[in-house]
Structure 1
Amino acid sequence: MTKTQASPVATGEAPHYLGHRERLRERFRKGGADALAEYELLELILFRAMPRRDVKPLAKALVARFGSFAEVVAARPERLHEIEGLGDAAIVELKIIEAAARRLAKSSIEKRPSMSSFAAVVDYCRTAMAFLDREEFRILFLDKKNFLIADEVQGVGTVDHAPVYPREIMRRALELSASAIILVHNHPSGDPEPSTDDIYLTHQIIAVGKPLKVAVHDHLIIGKHGHASLKGMRLI
């Protein structure tokens, strides 16, 4: 800043971004999230962590780096730290939004039979896994009435593989007194098409569970742009 320039604080002027923030909040109040671009929705979150900074360039940089609002929110903290100017407080705000979205989606499958609310199961799994950058294998454990007992991640791996052990899955099912399970994993590539290995693994788990009377209701594969159900595809 040159000698002839003065900061807004020194002159008593309000920073230009304060009016921008209030306009964004007003648009959100009137039109909800659909009234805002993805980077603008991120701005609303970043306002809380950065009250004295113009966060518009940072919000745009986040969307450019990760691809979308959902992918920003789902990004691992260590990857978010790579963005210049994004500190711990802002990352916590983003992770709070992610946790809230997961909690909200999960609540829709906790109090009713999972197989009678299959769309809600898919929505929850997409919220939890669709935008992860590493493969994750999740198990939904169900009781005799198909109510959710537990939702557990059994393995986290690389971009194209997560370690899965059929006998460990069944051991855990017996510990929880589960009568059935739904297998779920994501494809970070975005394409939910099941691989030959996915199909083979599913049949291995079914075989291990059969004498234990633990049924495999389905195996869902979650991608960024959709999902695949091995049961729906008649592969199990």
Structure 2
Amino acid sequence: MREGGQTSGHRKRLKDRFVKSSLEGFHDYEVLELLLMYAIPRRDVKPLAKKLLSEFKGLKGVFEAAPGRLEEVSGLGEASALLFALVKEAAAAYLSEEHLPARGSVCSPGDAVGCLRQAGHGDAEGLFTLYLNSKNEVLGVEKVERNDAALSPKSIIQKAFSHNARSIILVSAKAGKGAATKAEKAFAQELQEAVSSIDILLHDYIVAGSDGNFSARETGWLKRVTYS
């Protein structure tokens, strides 16, 4: 079945607008329309785009929803759900690679938190690992999923090897006050003990909160290792 002329013309106009001005002037539903065109080629997708925005409370909610949850929305199939997941992951990979500091050295807790912002994680909450070379230049920034399998010294050490890192810094970004919990302190101390046996340094465990940055190195509950 071929697209109707009205739908086909609308799609062409959206594409032409994007080619001319990127997403400038686009409504949120039009952004979703433009994406859905590539997963649903023969249907008017404007109603579906608006339904998604209503269901997930905006673009952020749509892109953060799990594919399985998206597929529960009537009219949206596996291809569309996977497309949204792909866009989110591709954007995260791009920001992680392209927006890291230009080999700037991390010399303080403030520098470490600044790296998260430059890597596109400025507003995100969670636990992040910065992987550094021998000059304390950032090799990569990765979010650690908070589950028993991922939150372990072994998984962080494996990624340190994959980055060929000489040292690491952990940053726990929180919406509330910047204070470490007992569990965070225990994990940081466990990690420092584990990496010390393989000649990798844990420079710091930083809690970045609304009231500032809390540094384990500066407060003394993590063995002091200089950034230099």
In the superposition, the TM-score normalised over structure 2's length comes to 0.68
| Aligned equivalent of 2:100 | 109
| Aligned equivalent of 1:179 | 167
Aligned-partner Cα distance in 1 for 2:15–2:73: 25
| Aligned equivalent of 1:216 | 204
Aligned-partner Cα distance in 2 for 1:93–1:173: 27
Matches within 5 A, 1:149-228: 149=139, 151-157=141-147, 164-165=151-152, 168=154, 178-184=166-172, 192-194=175-177, 198-208=180-190, 209=192, 212=196, 213-216=201-204, 218-220=206-208
Change (3 A) 1:94 1:150: same
| Aligned equivalent of 1:17 | 7
Of 49, 59, 78 in structure 1, the residue corresponding to residue 68 of structure 2 is: 78
| Aligned equivalent of 2:131 | 141
Matches within 5 A, 1:88-99: 88-99=78-89
Q: Secondary structure at the match of 1:35?
A: coil
Aligned residue pairs, count? 205
Which ranges in structure 2 are unaligned for 5 or more consecutive residues? 220-228
Aligned-partner Cα distance in 1 for 2:132–2:49: 40
Q: Deviations over 1:158-217 (max 9, x none)?
A: xxx99845x5577558866542313345x6xxxx11476x44444444544289342116
| Aligned equivalent of 1:121 | 116
| Aligned equivalent of 1:5 | none
Aligned-partner Cα distance in 2 for 1:19–1:49: 18
Specify the code of the residue in structure 2 equivalent to 1:122: R
Asked whether 1:59 is paired with 2:49, we answer: yes
Specify the code of the residue in structure 1 equivalent to 2:24: D
| Aligned equivalent of 2:213 | 230
Change (3 A) 1:200 1:156: closer
Aligned residues: percent identity? Answer: 26
Aligned-partner Cα distance in 1 for 2:128–2:172: 5
1:180 and 1:214 in contact (8 A); partners too = yes
Aligned-partner Cα distance in 2 for 1:75–1:114: 35
Change (3 A) 1:104 1:114: farther
| Aligned equivalent of 2:29 | 39
